[in-house]
C-alpha cells in the first residue's frame, strides 16, 4: 500500500474521531487549537489544501479524495463536500452541501438501489465566492468568480461570474456592480 494512502487513512481516522468534533473556531483558546488541528489533518487528506484555510466544526468530505481547497477559503460548520475544486477566498456558511455523485435510476425494472452510482462529477467553485447557509450544489456545477449564492438555494445550473443567485432552483437575481477602472 502506498505511503500516501496509509497517511491519508491515519489522518482520516484522526479527523473523524477527534478533530471534526472539536469546538468551533470562534471559541477562545480551544477554538484556535481546533482550527490548527483540523487544518493539519486536512492537508494530509485533501488532494490540495492551502496553508491559510479554515475548516469548521462538523465539516465532512468523505475520504477527501478529489477535494482541493484554495488559500483563505472556509468550509462552514457542518458542511458536506463531495469531489470539489474550491478556489481562493471562498466563504462557505454553515450546512452547505456539495454533491458530486447521484444514483442511477434509468431502468424502472431494477430497484434504484441495485443500479449503482453515476461517475463522480466534480463541482468547481472559482475564487471570491460567497455561499450562504444551507445551499445545495448539485453534481458537475461551476460557480463563477465573485458569485454570491443566497441562503437556502439549490444550484442546478452553472452560475456565471459575479452573479447573485437565489431560490429553488437558483435563478440569477442580479449581477454585482463593478467599478470601472480609471
Please confirm, yes or no, whether 103 is among the known catalytic residues: yes
pLDDT value of position 43: 94
Q: What are phi and psi of 84, to 5 degrees?
A: -155, 145
In angstroms, the CA 49 to CA 37 distance is: 13
pLDDT value of position 15: 95
In angstroms, the CA 37 to CA 20 distance is: 9
In angstroms, the CA 27 to CA 6 distance is: 32
pLDDT value of position 182: 39
Q: What is the full DSSP assignment across 106-165?
A: --TTS-GGGS-BPPP--EEE-SS-EE-TT-EE-TT-EE-TT-EE-TT-EE-S-B-TTEEE
Please list the rounded mean pLDDT of every run of 10 residues in the chain (182 residues).
72 94 81 91 95 94 94 96 97 97 86 85 97 97 98 98 97 83 40
In angstroms, the CA 61 to CA 56 distance is: 12
Which of 39, 40, 44, 103 is labelled catalytic? 103
Domains and CATH numbers, the chain: 49-174 (2.160.10.10)
pLDDT value of position 143: 98
What sign results for the dihedral spanned by CA atoms 5, 7, 10, 12? negative
Amino acid at each position: 500500500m502506498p505511503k500516501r494512502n496509509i497517511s491519508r487513512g491515519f489522518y482520516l481516522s484522526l479527523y473523524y474521531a477527534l478533530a471534526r468534533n472539536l469546538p468551533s473556531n470562534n471559541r477562545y483558546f480551544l477554538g484556535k487549537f481546533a482550527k490548527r488541528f483540523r487544518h493539519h489533518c486536512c492537508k494530509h487528506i485533501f488532494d490540495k489544501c492551502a496553508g491559510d484555510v479554515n475548516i469548521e466544526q462538523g465539516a465532512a468530505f468523505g475520504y477527501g479524495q478529489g477535494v482541493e481547497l484554495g488559500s483563505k477559503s472556509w468550509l462552514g460548520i457542518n458542511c458536506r463536500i463531495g469531489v470539489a475544486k474550491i478556489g481562493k477566498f471562498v466563504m462557505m456558511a454553515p450546512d452547505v452541501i456539495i454533491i458530486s455523485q447521484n444514483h442511477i435510476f434509468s431502468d424502472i425494472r431494477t430497484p434504484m438501489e441495485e443500479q449503482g452510482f453515476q461517475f463522480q462529477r466534480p463541482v468547481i467553485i472559482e475564487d471570491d465566492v460567497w455561499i450562504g447557509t444551507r445551499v445545495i450544489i448539485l453534481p458537475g456545477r461551476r460557480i463563477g468568480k465573485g458569485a454570491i449564492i443566497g441562503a437556502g438555494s439549490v444550484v442546478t445550473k452553472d452560475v456565471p461570474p459575479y452573479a447573485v443567485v437565489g431560490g429553488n432552483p437558483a435563478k440569477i437575481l442580479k449581477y454585482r456592480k463593478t467599478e470601472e477602472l480609471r
